[in-house]
Amino acid sequence: NAGVTQTPKFQVLKTGQSMTLQCAQDMNHNSMYWYRQDPGMGLRLIYYSASEGTTDKGEVPNGYNVSRLNKREFSLRLESAAPSQTSVYFCASSEPNTQYFGPGTRLTVL
């Protein structure tokens, strides 16, 4: 039981490049989330998916897209990366009343 896994662990992009962050959970949870964490701040919600086939915007969705590929997987895509998207990205999944987080992807956009 790996919990929530994320790939890659680190990534460096140039401005304008695109990439997809992958997330998978093996806990059979319905809900999955993508957050970003910037220095000195808590986690801010980018997008979430309450169930397979549905996605909704969170607090900071601009510049991102998501895909809930199946119940296990929830990917985050940056179509045209910008330096303001330099951050640590966390995926999470939840059962009612709690959330479990992945180890994070540290993204730098030059």
Partner 1 sequence: GQQLNQSPQSMFIQEGEDVSMNCTSSSIFNTWLWYKQDPGEGPVLLIALYKAGELTSNGRLTAQFGITRKDSFLNISASIPSDVGIYFCAGLNTDKLIFGTGTRLQVFP
Chain residues binding partner 1 by CB under 8 A are 4, 31, 33, 40-45, 48, 50, 58-60, 90, 92, 94, 97-104
Rg (CA), the chain: 13
Q: Which is nearer to partner 1, 13 or 43 (CB)?
A: 43
- Distance separating alpha carbons of residues 68 and 86, to the nearest angstrom: 23
Residues near 77 by beta carbon (within 8 Å), at least 6 away in sequence: 18, 19, 20, 21, 64, 65, 66, 67
Q: Which is nearer to partner 1, 6 or 81 (CB)?
A: 6
- Supply the minimum distance, in Å, between the C-beta of residue 50 and partner 1: 6
- Supply the minimum distance, in Å, between the C-beta of residue 61 and partner 1: 11
Q: Do 77 and 67 form a contact (C-beta atoms < 8 A)? A: yes
- Supply the minimum distance, in Å, between the C-beta of residue 16 and partner 1: 26
